Homo-oligomer: A and B are copies of this chain.
Amino acid sequence: MTVIDSTPVTSPPVDACVSAGAAHPRPDGQDRYTISEVAEFTGLRAHTLRWYEQIGLMPHVERSHTGQRRFDNRDLDWLAFVGKLRLTGMPVADMVRFAELVHRGEATYGERQDILEQTRHEVATRIAALQDTLAVLDAKINFYAGARQAPERA
């Protein structure tokens, strides 16, 4: 019985951390992707994907009999999550540390929770700062718009 995608099953219950909730639209009902397929799908370059693996951010990807990488849906989930973390501004080194915790299994749940709570806090702070910025931008945009509509008022 092969995994056919559709709903996020995550059959091996060993470590459900990787399933990122409502999955992104998968290419199709398969489970083995070449590096260029993954590159197109994630927006990352093939070189970057290899580099991720090299530094330990992308844990060991399966290989074909000729040594080429074959990514599966779990890998895609992990990359989607990494993309989210990247969005938060988390340094790559920290993501690698998190990846190591995931690799070490259930024993690190607590530590992982702590890290994500810290990250959550930072993200919330960042959102607030950006909303502040939005207000400043709006004020300036309004100023410019007003100045253009009433240009002769010296």
Question: Which residues in A have some Cβ–Cβ distance to B below 8 Å?
Answer: 16-17, 20-21, 81, 84-85, 87-88, 106, 109-110, 112-113, 116-117, 119-120, 123-124, 126-127, 129-141, 143-145, 147-148
Contact = CB atoms under 8 A, between A and B. Distances in A.
Contacts of A110: 144, 148
Copies of this chain: 2
A132 B135 CA distance: 21
Given A87-B129, A133-B88, A136-B84, A120 B147 contact: no
A3 to B, nearest CB: 19
Q: Is the interface of A mostly helix, strand, loop or mixed?
A: helix
A24 to B, nearest CB: 11
Given A81-B136, A136-B81, A148-B110, A130 B88 contact: yes
Given A124-B134, A134-B127, A17 B143 contact: yes
Contact of A141 (B116, B136, B148): B116
Q: Which 10 pairs show the lowest CB-CB distances between chains A and B?
A: A113-B144, A120-B137, A84-B133, A109-B144, A21-B139, A127-B130, A116-B141, A84-B136, A116-B137, A123-B134
